[in-house]
């Protein structure tokens, strides 16, 4: 079981974004199709082995879009795994499957084609590093200055600025993004703030992380964060209680009320238990 501090933040944040934004998340990654149904991502195969796919969507054209989030690049091993996912899902449903792999952590120029015997298998790769976070921040700043509506696509892009390219440091991207989110009156505001904070926890430490905490403390999310309000021992106890409650089947909302943790923190703990 992964420790709370060892969780793959980027992977979980990207999955959280898909949970929050759903079809809009697909559009952000260039997949402009209508979703008919969000499907089960667990495939049961022989010998009771379960394969967990990140996300699958049944589209209106009756094909499946399979999305995987990767913070590492294992080359052929990954492609073989994705091919197995596709083959089994297609066999069990009788439908065609297309796999999109979203890479973060600065991964570029990945292998997308696997030659196996007389067959050739391919995936569609998307690198977050190909997007410029500086431009995203500037465009949203201009929208706010000109009273132009900030869309869900803008919010998704803003969420991922820390893992995009650009001249700004990760600290500056996170700080600027948090300040922009403060000005946006949107139901997804808290979710974006929590994901930006998770990126800060992943990439920053020392004084830089303190700067982000200070910025967050002035937001609505800051009122809910218990990082500075709970002593280390109490926080550790809260995490253990949350783990037990998750295993008992309690919801994130109820666990958050009981432990004093945020729903975002509970969600990350839940992911760590399932990974």
Read off the pLDDT band of 215 (50, 70, 90). Answer: confident
Can you give the pLDDT at residue 8? 58
On whether the CB atoms of residues 71 and 8 are closer than 8 A, the answer is: yes
CA distance linking residue 85 with residue 91, whole number of Å: 10
Q: Does the pLDDT at position 1 exceed 50?
A: no
pLDDT of residue 144: 95
Pairing, β 119-122 against β 113-116: antiparallel
Q: Residue 125 forms beta bridges with which residues?
A: 101
* CB-based burial, 166-200: b 16+ in 10 Å, e otherwise: bebebbbbbbbbbebbbebeeebbbbbbbbbbbbb
DSSP state of 147: T
| Rg for the chain, CA atoms, rounded | 20
Average pLDDT, integer, range 112-120: 94
Q: Which of 34-38, 56-60, 118-122, 175-179 has the lowest mean pLDDT?
A: 34-38
- Looking at the predicted structure, is the pLDDT value of residue 271 above 70? yes
Q: Stretch 58-67: mean pLDDT, rounded?
A: 91
Q: Which of 7-11, 106-110, 187-191 has the lowest mean pLDDT?
A: 7-11
Highest mean pLDDT among 45-49, 176-180, 259-263: 176-180
Report whether pLDDT(199) > 90.
no
Confidence (pLDDT) at 256: 83
Percent of the chain with pLDDT over 90: 36
> Which of 91-95, 128-132, 222-226 comes out lowest in average pLDDT?
222-226
Residue scoring higher pLDDT (112 or 44): 112
Question: Across residues 241-263, what is the average pLDDT?
Answer: 80
Q: Model confidence at 134, in pLDDT bands (50, 70, 90)?
A: very high
pLDDT the model gives residue 77: 94
Q: Average model confidence (pLDDT) for the chain? A: 82
Question: What value does the mean pLDDT take over residues 184-194?
Answer: 84
- Average pLDDT in the 64-71 region? 89
Q: Are strands 124-127 and 119-122 parallel, antiparallel or unpaired?
A: unpaired
Most confident by average pLDDT, 49-53, 66-70, 76-80, 259-263: 76-80
The pLDDT value given to residue 2: 40
pLDDT at residue 274 is higher than 80: no
pLDDT of residue 63: 94
pLDDT above 70: residue 178: yes
């Amino acid at each position: 079981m992964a420790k709370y501090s060892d969780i793959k933040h980027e992977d979980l944040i990207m999955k959280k974004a898909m949970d929050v934004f759903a079809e809009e998340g697909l559009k952000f990654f260039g997949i402009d199709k209508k979703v008919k149904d969000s499907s089960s991502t667990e495939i049961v195969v022989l010998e009771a082995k379960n394969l967990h796919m990140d996300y699958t969507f049944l589209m209106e054209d009756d094909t499946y879009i399979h999305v995987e989030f990767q913070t590492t690049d294992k080359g052929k091993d990954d492609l073989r795994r994705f091919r197995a996912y596709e083959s089994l899902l297609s066999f069990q449903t009788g439908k065609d499957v297309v796999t999109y792999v979203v890479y973060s952590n600065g991964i570029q120029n990945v292998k997308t084609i696997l030659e196996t015997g007389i067959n050739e298998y391919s995936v569609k790769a998307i690198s977050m590093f190909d997007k410029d976070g500086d431009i995203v921040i500037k465009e949203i700043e201009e929208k706010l200055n000109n009273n132009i509506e900030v869309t869900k696509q803008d919010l998704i892009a803003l969420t991922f600025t820390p893992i995009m390219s650009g001249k700004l440091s990760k600290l500056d991207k996170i700080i600027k993004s948090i300040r922009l989110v403060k000005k946006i009156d949107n139901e997804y505001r808290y979710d974006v703030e929590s994901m930006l904070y998770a990126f800060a926890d992943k990439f920053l430490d020392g004084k830089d992380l303190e700067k982000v905490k200070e910025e967050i403390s002035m937001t609505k999310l800051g009122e809910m964060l218990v990082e500075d309000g709970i002593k280390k021992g109490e926080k550790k106890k809260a995490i253990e209680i949350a783990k037990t409650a998750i295993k008992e089947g309690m919801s994130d909302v109820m666990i958050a009320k009981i432990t004093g943790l945020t729903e975002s923190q509970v969600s990350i703990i839940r992911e760590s238990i399932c990974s």
